[in-house]
Structure 1
Amino acid sequence: NTKEKGGLSMNNVSLIGRLVSDPELKYVNDDRALCKFCLAVSRDYRNKDGVIPTDFINIDIWGRKAEVLCQYASKGSLIAVEGSLRIDKYVNKDGQNRTKAIINADSFHFLGHKHRD
C-alpha cells in the first residue's frame, strides 16, 4: 500500500501464463537491463462458444531479474509474475493519442516447462 494525498492506494498484479514469444533483452542508457515479453493468460471461464478467452499482456522487468528471465525463459515457458500496472501514453503514427497497459514486474517464478510441439 502507498500512502497518498486523500487516502491509501494499491496497485498489485499477479499473473500466471505462457510466454507468447522469446523475451527481448536490451540495455537502457547502456547499463540497465530491460526484458520485454508478452504473457498469454487464460481466463477462468468459457464463453458462449465454449472457448476459454485469453488475454495477451505486455510485461517489462528490469535489472538482474531481466537478465535471468531472458537467459532461461523462451516461447511457451509457464511463469508467474507479480508487479504493478502502468499505463503509458503515446501518439501513434497517425497523430492519435493512445494508451498502452504494461505490467512492471517486480518478481517472477518459473512454473513449468514449455509445451512440446
Structure 2
Amino acid sequence: MNKVVLVGRLTKDPELFFAKGTGTAVCNFKVAVNRRFKKEGQPDADFIPIVVFGKQAEATANYMKKGSQVSLSGNIQTSTYTNKSNEKAYKTEVVADEVNFLDSKNKNDNSSNGNNTGNSSRNDSRNNDFESASDITPIDDGDIPF
C-alpha cells in the first residue's frame, strides 16, 4: 500500500498553473516536516515536494502561503526524465489527494480560530445555526424502531 500522511509548514508560497490541453489546475509546493528523532537537541526537518490537482489545487494556492501549517494525505510517486544537460534525472514527490489547512504561522490573520481557510464568515454562520437550536422539538424515543 502506498499511503503518506504528513503535517508540516509550507517553505514558500504555492505555485499554481494550468496543464496544457486539459486545463487542469496543478499546485506545487514544499512542506517542511520535522523528523521524529533529532540529533542531540537540534531540530531537523525534511523538505518534501507536494503536487495537488483540481479544485484542491486552486484552494491551496488561494488560501495558503509561506509558513502556513498543513496536513495532507496522498501517495508517493517517482519518475525519471532527461534534464537540459541530457542526463537522466529522478524525481520523487507526494501526490496529495486531501489537503487540510491548519493554523498559519502568522497569527495576525483575520480569522478568529487560527485556521487560514479564507472564509471567515463560515464561523459566523455556524454560530447563528447554533443559537437557533432551542427551536428543535425533541423526538419521543418510543417512535424509534431500534
Q: TM-score range by the shorter chain?
A: 0.7 to 0.9
Structure 2 equivalent of residue 46 of structure 1? 38
Report the RMSD for the aligned CA atoms in angstroms.
1.3
1:46-94 deviations in whole A, cap 9, x for unaligned? 114x212110000000000000010000000000010000002112333
Alpha-carbon distance in 2 for matches of 1:54, 1:96: 29
More strand by share: 1
Q: Structure 1 unaligned runs (5+)?
A: 1-9
Alpha-carbon distance in 2 for matches of 1:46, 1:36: 28
| Structure with the greater alpha carbon radius of gyration | 2
Check conservation: 1:44, 1:52, Cα contact below 8 A: no
Structure 2 equivalent of residue 78 of structure 1? 69
TM-score norm. by structure 2 comes to 0.68
1:14-34 deviations in whole A, cap 9, x for unaligned? 000000000000000252000
Q: How many aligned residue pairs are there? A: 106
The answer to whether the aligner puts 1:15 opposite 2:15 as a matched pair is no
More helix by share: 2
Check conservation: 1:80, 1:108, Cα contact below 8 A: yes
Structure 2 equivalent of residue 88 of structure 1? 79
TM-score norm. by structure 1 comes to 0.84
Identity of aligned residues (%): 37
